[in-house]
Structure 1
Amino acid sequence: MRNHFKMFLTFSIGTWLRAMISFLYTPIISYFLVPEEFGKSAMFTMVLSILSTVVQLGTVQAFARFFYEHNERDRAKLTWACLLPIVSIGTIISVSLVWFEEILSKAMFGQVYKGISFLIITSLYLSVFQSFNHQIVRMSKKGLTYSLIEVSNALGNVVGSIVYAALVGRTFYAIVYGTIVGYLAALSVGIQYGIAYWRFTVPELEEVKKVLKFGVPFAVLDLLYLLFASIDRLSLRIYSTLDEIGLYSAAFKIVSVINLLQTGLVNTWVPEAYERYVRDKSDRGFFRRSQEVISFMSLSAAMVLFISRDVLFLLFRSSYRQASAIVPFLILAPIMNLLWNTTGVGINLSNKTYLLIVVPLVANAVNYVGNSILVPYLGARGAAISTGLSNVLYFYIRTYLSEKVFPVGYDMRRTSFGIITFICVALIGTFNRNVWINVLSGICGSIMIVCLYRKEFRFIMNELEAAVRGKS
């Protein structure tokens, strides 16, 4: 467990630095872009995410699953067994984007932007290569290298966006070009550390079939999850305005700080979980202990972000500050994602990935109904409430299915009490405008979480103390 915690720290250095960069970047860019332009950038990102998922066909997850089943020399074959289907599908999608550019542009932005298809195509290929760049370093357990890639990506994004906004134009293109620069910076740093895996090698047809057999259910799952994650913005696009989407996106930028914590934990957890399973299929204690520590860390991070959100929005342009009320329930999205990546790993380990498709089908239906009811009356706050509670449902369904195929015996009572505690705090923060009441409710919630996870709190404090002493 101690080595696991140390590895988490090495993977998370870049994550925390990226969080700091994001804290500085988001308020700064808000002074360049009005909420409407922020909303357009959110639509671009949503479309890019959907296309990236279609192109990848779940091969990134397949790469992680079979990584340790290949020796060092054969991993280049695994890489290209994943990449060749991507290139084929990507070519078809690229031609379609150019052909239907005007229709797509009007659907996304309400007007035609010439050349937008080429920006989507460029971003699409870079995002795919960056996904494998990340995965190679992650599965090799090179935590510091992974962190360096994270920082390079963040800095490239920030510099590209701000330079474009300051010198060229204060439009959503600034964020688009910043994204491209960030991908290029990350690739230039990371690809050299895994260059052997990128060496072109013709894969065997059976290897490609094996990758697709494992990965395609993940692609379907990811598409369903993206639909699940996009229903809020689609509902706002239908029932509201691009301004409201911009405020919602600004709130998500603040919440993305926890996404970065999630990245650090999952990037430590997934390789370790697969390796542990290959080494000893009967070891359940490791999975149970890890879930308890991760639950405490994630719920604590949620409370800290809730308490500090009003202060953070003081850094934003005044037209964005009302987004503070959108944040509370949005925090549940990355928190639940982190928890189900921990408790739901049994589905992956048992190779019964088809079960994962059941989860978003139910959650999508609930989220759609929730957004349809709440968004017309509450706008972005309604979208946040529906999205947050649907993520909670997603977590419980996925955990239940995982326990059926890979019984671990997770402590769901404590986790459930912690989730209910945060939901109560989030309700106060969504509908109450008094900052001091919000802060007080967050502090009370934090105390309850620490009391609930006393053992895990002491463990983390001891590990941090040991790490500090080791450096002194």
Structure 2
Amino acid sequence: MYEKVLSGLEDKVTKERNFIKTFFQFSVGQWIAAFISFITTPIITWLIIPAEFGKASMFTLAFNLLLTIALLGVDQSFVRMFYERPEDDRRNLFWESLLPSLTVGFVIFIVIGFFWKELSFILFGDYTHFLPVFLLGITVLVGVVERFATLTVRMKKRGIAFSALRIVNGITNAAFTILYALFVSRTFYAVIVGLFFSHIASVLLAIYFERDLWFGKLKIDFGSINAIIKYGLPFVPAFLITWLFQSIDRLALRNYCDFTEIGLYSAAFKVVAVMNLIQAGFTTFWTPVSFESYEKEPESAGIFEKTSLFIAAAIFVFGMLIIVFKDAIFLLLESSYRQAAGISAFLILMPIMYTVSEVTVVGINFKKKTHWHMLIAAVSGGFNIFGNILLVPLYGARGAALSTGLSYIIFFCMRTFISKSLYKVDYHLKKFFSATFVFVVVAFINTFTGNTVWQILSAVCGLIFVLVIYNNEVRYMFNLVMGELRRIVKLRE
């Protein structure tokens, strides 16, 4: 009896250790990429003025929209069906998923070619920018290939390889942006060129990592392609609404303000992007783990309950720390960008709500009720549209940040409650909403109160509240990580 209990405890510790190891392998690249972004963002702000930064943000906005359309949602089909297919059939699944997206990508490229002048005016304010519009079309095609190339690395749970992709992407983006600004021109072209070459570098490396999947004998089943598109298409309207939900802030700023205000908002996003990279690291790791866990043990919900607690504790603490030190962080930027510090607090709610909801949304994905994503995006997006129309004319970028942050709380609530109705999991929502309330109060003080002492004091108090709310989880994670570090040190001695 004692031996069975001991064996069970050892298995539990081993699983937790492997969980942390896999998470670390997937996340380390995001952390390094976040560090690269943190170091290079101040340099870029000293080279490129806010108005030019704002124009680059409009390019990114258009790229994300067109990439969403080109993908047709079949990237979601690929993820969902990956573990359903035997290993020797996954090359066929890969190409059956990639071909429809590539076809739509080429159509988009041709359409862009016909209407490049109109796009130039909409995005950049005049009709003369052929190069960035041309790069937009090419980058969409590259982005399609990159999405599937990196997905294969993710789904095979090759954490170190995926981290290498993120690091190469971050270094390439920073290097080409800075070099172009220094030696060619200090315009938004520099940011676009950096983005383009970072995608190229990621694609080439990802193809190299999974070259066996890319090259070899194929048997394309058009019936399978139809099934893949049928599963993925419902995601497209939802993703388009989600794009509008995530982009209405900058669209409202484009309509009511100038490129300078968009640039300041984008600079605040750049700092928050450190959290977005951590969010991406977790999501990248979590997607294959959650689907595989469900396929093996559909009735076992323990991993989802614990993960929701631990990721909420970690990301709330990290978010509070950014607010505590935000003024010091923004001092690194060029002086014309420093007022962006007051914009950042509510934007931090985006990665917090999105990251935790990636755990709590699993019921919708497991049960293949993908139509719910459209309703969720429509309701939260509608709230964000109304909020931006109401607040941006009054408060500019601060109003956009407030509306966006609050709409992400609605996004989380809808994802979570609908998912719980389909797949019962105890997500300990009392803890989560207590921490959310505290965070909103702190964000409001740091956005609309000009007194720096009050801002820092509120953020420190908020951090203490979060640590108290998630006391057990924080202590457990700390002890687990420290134990793992001590084990690694002992192995090397």
Q: TM-score, normalised by structure 2?
A: 0.94
Q: Tell me the equivalent position of 2:245.
A: 228
Q: Tell me the equivalent position of 1:334.
A: 351
SS of match in other structure, 1:69: coil
Q: Tell me the equivalent position of 1:209.
A: 226
Q: Tell me the equivalent position of 1:30.
A: 45
- The match for 1:449 among 466, 473, 486 is 466
Q: Determine if the alignment matches structure 1 residue 95 to structure 2 residue 142.
A: no
1:59-458 → structure 2 map (5 Å cutoff): 59-112=74-127, 113-199=129-215, 201-458=218-475
Find the aligned partners of 1:57 and 1:407 in 2 and give their Cα distance: 30
- The match for 1:12 among 27, 35, 40 is 27
SS of match in other structure, 1:31: helix
* AA aligned opposite 1:42: S
Q: Tell me the equivalent position of 2:486.
A: 469
TM-aligned CA deviation for residue 208 of structure 1: 0.8
Q: Percent identity?
A: 38
* AA aligned opposite 1:103: E
Find the aligned partners of 1:407 and 1:429 in 2 and give their Cα distance: 37
TM-aligned CA deviation for residue 82 of structure 1: 0.9
Count residues with an aligned counterpart. 472
Structure 1 runs of 4+ with >4 Å offset: none
Greater mean alpha carbon deviation, residues 313-322 or residues 72-81 = 72-81
TM-aligned CA deviation for residue 119 of structure 1: 0.5
Find the aligned partners of 2:314 and 2:76 in 1 and give their Cα distance: 25
Find the aligned partners of 2:120 and 2:440 in 1 and give their Cα distance: 38
TM-aligned CA deviation for residue 106 of structure 1: 0.6
Q: Say if 1:4 and 1:268, in contact at 8 Å, map to a contact too.
A: no
Q: Tell me the equivalent position of 2:11.
A: none
Q: Deviations over 1:319-367 (max 9, x none)?
A: 0000000000011111111111110111001111111111011111111
Greater mean alpha carbon deviation, residues 292-301 or residues 435-444 = 435-444
Q: Tell me the equivalent position of 2:12.
A: none
Find the aligned partners of 2:257 and 2:356 in 1 and give their Cα distance: 31
TM-aligned CA deviation for residue 202 of structure 1: 4.2
- The match for 2:64 among 41, 49, 56 is 49
Q: Say if 1:101 and 1:116, in contact at 8 Å, map to a contact too.
A: no
Q: Deviations over 1:1-55 (max 9, x none)?
A: 3321221111111111011100011110011111110000000000000000000
Give RMSD over aligned pairs: 1.1
**Structure 1 stretches of 5 or more lacking a match?**
none
Greater mean alpha carbon deviation, residues 386-395 or residues 212-221 = 212-221
Q: Deviations over 1:152-196 (max 9, x none)?
A: 000000001011000110110101110111112222322211112
* AA aligned opposite 1:392: I
Q: Say if 2:30 and 2:278, in contact at 8 Å, map to a contact too.
A: yes
